Structure 1
Amino acid sequence: MNPSIPTGSKGDYRGFESAFSAARSDRLFRHVGGLYDEAGLLGDRWPRMLEQLRAAGATNLNLGRLLEGHANAVQLVRLYGDAGQHAFLDEMLETDAIIGVWGADGTPPASVEEGEGADVLRGFKRYASGLGIVSQAIVPIAGEGGILQLYLLPVDDPLRQDLSAWTVSGMRASASGRYSFEGITIGEGMRLGEPGVYKTEPFFEGGIWRCAAVHLGGLETILALTARYLETSGRLDHPLQTERLGRAILAARTARLWVEDAARRIEAPQSGETVQHAVASASYTRLQVEASALKVMEIARRAVGLSSFETDHPLEAAIADLSVYLRQANPDALLIHKCWAMAAEYL
């Protein structure tokens, strides 16, 4: 049986504790990790992955963030791990352990210091989601020449976790913050793959479609909350409200079609499709979902009005979380750098 996230009626945005408890009871993290085959590929299982990520985001975006990071980590171990690391992953999935990928460097950044007997880790990672929830994390650390080496590390030491470092207004339940790797000795099985494999495409930038799937769930819930409010308040038939809702539906539908297309291109490429174009499509999907989400959130605020800003209103929680989760580094550069790959089919 494939587990599903119980979202109740359409338009619910549940609290994190409730959503996370239901996901754990249903062994959702184990199921999602099991969608990847031994080679780290989804193949024709990509619609199932997309729906699980979308449903998680629709229920609670903090849950979706943890589930997407877990899926990313599982794929990386399958792609680049050795037999021992594969066996270790199997054990973690069987016990429903949660894994993450922590890429953003703190101050000072995570680094490796050569020692006489063994190398030692130094520094921090920031924006690390799942502190106290994630038991293992895949951590990219720059080595000689800036080339990234992946490490599979235990991250369950509460004394190394700093939740106070997360001071943003949304995604508060994601248990994000800073983690110290200071003084950890690099032991057997901690290095994952060869230096440089982390940026192998289509799994590096191309994998952004998974985040977009979670965002899609969030924006669809905001749309559903808005539609339900207009219906119950008797305002759905007002022409201006109908026009707003129609535009929100167009934006949400556009986002869904882009996410479905990107997932298929990355996970089940057709003959003749280049990796470069597939990755560019996933990158542009991320930009289009952001644009659609911003439009839907603005429409929701205008349609519902002041009550949408009340702290106990489900729209306030969903919009605050999605507004933060949508952020990405340097989206303008992404638009420019992937343009020619996208434009090739029109030239």
Structure 2
Amino acid sequence: MGSSLGAGGRAALGRLALLWALVVPGVQQDLRVAQSSMMVGHAGRAVTMSCRVSRSVDYVHWFRQLEGQAPERLLYLALSKRDVQWDSVLTGDKVNAARGADGQSCTMSLRQLAKSDEGVYYCAAWASVESLWNLNNMIFGDGTKVFVLDKKLPADISPKPTIFLPSINEVNHQQAATYLCLLEKFFPDVIKVSWKEKNGDRILPSQQGNTMKTNDTYMKLSWLTVTENSMKKEHICIVKHDKNAGRKDQEILFPAVKEVFTPVVTTTEPPNDCSKDESEVTDTDFTKTCARDQGKVASSTKACLKDENNTVPLQFTYNSAYYTYLVLLLKSAVYFVITSFCVLRRTGVCCDGTSS
């Protein structure tokens, strides 16, 4: 028997190397591998992803990991010779690699994209040919996530925020306040949401809902609960997404709770003009602002709560509308599954009835 590895052996070695390198960090700390984090392509087209190493290496290897499957090597590229060797997973007319002009970068192209090509593609490099059998010396990039679309998406696919302020009932009876940030119509699903105080650096503990698919885009809900000690502070919801304008973080400002709600003070003085003329009252989300002095209204966020008992039902309706929206989305998804099952079942019965 010859000592050379066949295509299956090379693929097995590649999978073993990937798994080992993910468990045992490489010792070659001077070698770094950088990749593009995400690529979006369309069915039938091609997509090209990049890889760069921090210093000269002999070989660059490309792996892919499809959802629910083990990683597998696709090919490796000899940078000095510009020579590509394919494993048995994909052929040269489907995937190819090329060296960059600087000798420390390369690209890999996927052609004739299909939904089955969606996954994470990893670039890896050995420190040198002498360390080929030392699995600790294989350094991997973070991976490029590839998405394949069947149709064109809108030009703006960055997260669209909708904010929900705390309810007056929660503030008065629980001495706490919950900010909610709903992010919709973004693509892809890779997103990170965090919270902090305005002018602060510390990331605050928050809650994150699951990222859910709606049609061809995604939505996510995040919320922050603050105690009474923090109700005088403004807070910021930070959204990291690859499609943000200029690839900068979105910073969504939430006003201080004490600015939104003005405590109701019991007094024996005659009522002011807030209740005299309904046309002079301006509604906000949770308060009714006295518009008696337009100059003061423009420069102040203070509000006179005409009737706290009337405000609570309004807030309840406001929050109920949001949760009703989520329930309707879930109901639509369940209805689609049931309808599809019935149609497929009916088709199967018809086929059985006509068979001989």
- TM-score (normalised: structure 1): 0.25
The answer to which structure has the higher helix fraction is 1
- TM-score (normalised: structure 2): 0.25
The answer to which structure has the higher strand fraction is 2
Report which of the two structures shows the higher radius of gyration computed on alpha carbons: 2
Greater relative CO, 1 or 2 (CA 8 Å, sep 6+): 1
